[in-house]
């Protein structure tokens, strides 16, 4: 049978009688698939493997413990042979052909009236692959397609409007399209409407289908052209119109991203909402400059705050990392507050602008000098500020900042020049 002879289709077997002839592992796999499709499964075999017997004992299928008889085809819509004996499978297939019942002959795919494809499911999309009767080849192709769908490299978007829409709050990470999660990328590929922030993986918007609407709601410090209340309303209204809505954010929706407010508003208005975590800029952007927020012998903990928050409750020690988000405009006030709280003025400070983007820039100084340095070079948002001894680890740090001993006993011993 040539591959051109195949007419791909899908059988809706819910509540229909189906027959599996055979009781081994192949029969088990086929019986499970038929049960998943809602078929009323009967297994005919003198012997059944333990898992098949368990399904029969649970009442999920009927096992007739005997050899096959042509009367087993009475009232059956579909047949799967899997006895492991070519003569038996051929006899079953011939009987089924005579009665015009579709039958998969596991022993001889060339003469089989139907083939069982390699199947995978991604959300509500079911993939079925035939590969010229070569099951391993079919499985490899199936896995490749399923992986591409999972990753959002292939479209999963519905083309028929849904009766009820939904909202996904997707953390896009710090601008680099490669740092969005697989789940976030997939949901973006399914979206009818994208409500986009200024930060996050903007290049992914260029990959959307032309008819996907993008609603820009980006904010800059001190400038909120679309108030949060209006963003909340947009999400609910679009979902109620039957759209799959993705709220694409930079970083993580629940880390100083107001995602909690948006999720709460959706739930209050009976709109299904999913939260997809993202790679928060508080950790990832310092990493782009080689700065870990914790490091053995230097820091065991860290705090993340905005530059607009009080810093009096933050431990004022170089071995407790402070990460400031949205803190450029009040940098001088923030470092002054930490110094007043007791943090040494020679504590290292790093500022990472445009993390992971081609225009990324790193400025490193101390609590005493960083405000003047930032003003001199024109540091601007988006930027993440890291305060603490972990800045010493950065490859951008001055040589005299670096340490030679990261042990817990002498964590900050300066490097001795040779």
Active site residue 333: no
- Say how far residue 418 (Cα) sits from the centre of its chain: 49
Active site residue 300: no
Distance CA 413, CA 247 (A): 47
Distance CA 417, CA 24 (A): 72
- Find tokens 């490749």 and name the residue: 144
| Positive/negative CA dihedral, 268, 273, 277, 281 | negative
Q: Say which of 197, 252, 319, 389 is annotated catalytic.
A: 197
Token pair belonging to 206: 């260029």
* Residues written for the chain: 418
DSSP state of 114: B
Distance CA 124, CA 142 (A): 16
Token pair belonging to 208: 């959307």
Distance CA 194, CA 202 (A): 11
Token pair belonging to 170: 């997707």
Q: List, in sequence order, the alpha helices (H) in 341-404.
A: 370-377
- Which residues are catalytically annotated? 197, 219
């Amino acid at each position: 049978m040539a591959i051109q002879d195949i007419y791909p289709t899908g059988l809706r077997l819910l509540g229909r009688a189906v027959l599996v002839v055979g009781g081994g592992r192949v029969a088990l796999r086929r019986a499970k698939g038929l049960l998943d499709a809602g078929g009323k499964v009967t297994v005919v075999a003198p012997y059944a493997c333990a898992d098949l017997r368990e399904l029969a004992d649970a009442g999920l299928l009927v096992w007739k413990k005997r050899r096959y008889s042509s009367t087993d085809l009475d009232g059956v819509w579909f047949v799967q042979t899997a006895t492991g004996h070519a003569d038996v499978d051929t006899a079953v297939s011939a009987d089924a052909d005579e009665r015009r019942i579709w039958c998969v002959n596991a022993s001889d795919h060339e003469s089989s009236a139907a083939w069982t494809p390699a199947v995978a499911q991604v959300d509500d999309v079911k993939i079925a692959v035939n590969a010229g009767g070569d099951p391993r080849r079919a499985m490899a192709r199936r896995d490749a397609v399923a992986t591409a769908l999972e990753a959002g490299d292939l479209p999963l978007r519905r083309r028929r409007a849904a009766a009820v829409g939904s909202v996904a709050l997707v953390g896009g990470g710090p601008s680099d399209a490669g740092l969005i999660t697989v789940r976030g990328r997939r949901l973006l590929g399914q979206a009818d409407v994208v409500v986009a922030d200024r930060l996050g993986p903007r290049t992914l918007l260029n990959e959307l289908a032309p008819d996907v609407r993008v609603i820009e709601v980006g904010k800059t410090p001190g400038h909120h052209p679309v108030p949060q209340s209006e963003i909340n309303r947009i999400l609910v209204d679009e979902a109620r119109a039957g759209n799959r809505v993705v709220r694409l954010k930079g970083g993580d929706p629940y880390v100083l991203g107001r995602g909690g407010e948006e999720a709460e508003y959706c739930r209050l208005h009976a709109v299904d909402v999913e939260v997809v975590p993202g790679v928060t800029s508080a950790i990832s952007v310092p990493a782009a400059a080689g700065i870990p927020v914790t490091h053995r012998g230097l820091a065991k903990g860290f705090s993340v705050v905005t530059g607009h928050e009080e810093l009096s409750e933050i431990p004022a020690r170089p071995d407790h990392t402070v990460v400031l988000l949205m803190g450029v405009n009040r940098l001088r006030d923030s470092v002054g507050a930490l110094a007043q709280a007791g943090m040494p003025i020679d504590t290292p400070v790093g500022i990472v602008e445009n993390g992971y983007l081609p225009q990324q820039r790193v400025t490193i100084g101390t609590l005493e000098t960083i405000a003047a340095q930032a003003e001199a070079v024109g540091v601007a948002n988006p930027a993440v500020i890291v305060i603490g001894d972990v800045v010493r680890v950065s490859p951008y740090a001055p040589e005299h900042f670096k340490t030679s001993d990261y042990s817990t006993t002498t964590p900050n011993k300066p490097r001795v020049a040779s």
